[in-house]
Copies of this chain bind each other. A is one copy, B any other.
Amino acid sequence: MKTATKVALALSVSACASTLAYAQMKPEDAIRARQSVMRVIALNFGPIAQMAQGKMPWNKDMFVANALRIEAIWAMQPTRFFVPGSDHPVAGAKIASFTDVRPEVWSQADKWKAAAGRMDEAVAGLAKAARGADEAAMKAAAGALGKSCGGCHDDFRKK
């Protein structure tokens, strides 16, 4: 367990949304965490969006698996990874060599939090639809989630 132990120690301050203060997370770790979480969500949302738009054949099992995976990952509350000092790349850091975050995350915090709240609702809506049997409802929920992703990215992520 040599490597695992090292991993665990390295994550001791930063890993747990429920019990640890993310404000203590180092900016480079926070940038990497949020980019990783968002990327994994995107890897799962890609096929869902494609199916919803008719660009990929309907595959209910895949849709449901990906939707519930997004629910599980969003439950990590990735908005907590926008810690102070994570508004710019960290010089000399192996990781976090870039960030596309816009300063409005902090200067318009209320607006940003509201957008994140709409993401909570959209993810819940997608998961609820995925637990049902209605293909049209699933596709509509995917569209709503896409709109929610875009609502934050358009205002708070650099083009």
A contacts, CB < 8 Å to B: 1-5, 7-8, 10-12, 14-16, 18-19, 32-33, 35-37, 39-40, 42-47, 49-50, 53, 55-56, 59, 62, 65, 68-69, 72-73, 75-76, 94-95, 97-98, 143, 145-147, 149-150, 153-154
A7 vs B149: C-alpha distance in the bound complex, in angstroms? 10
A44 / chain B contacts, CB cutoff of 8 Å: 15, 76
Number of copies of this chain that the complex holds: 2
Of B4, B36, B50, which is within 8 A of A12 by CB? B50
A56 vs B76: C-alpha distance in the bound complex, in angstroms? 18
A89 vs B148: C-alpha distance in the bound complex, in angstroms? 33
Find out whether the CB atom of A39 lies under 8 angstroms from the CB atom of B32.
yes
Find out whether the CB atom of B19 lies under 8 angstroms from the CB atom of A55.
no
Give 8 closest A-B pairs by Cβ, nearest first: A4-B146, A11-B46, A15-B46, A3-B150, A8-B49, A36-B39, A36-B36, A16-B47
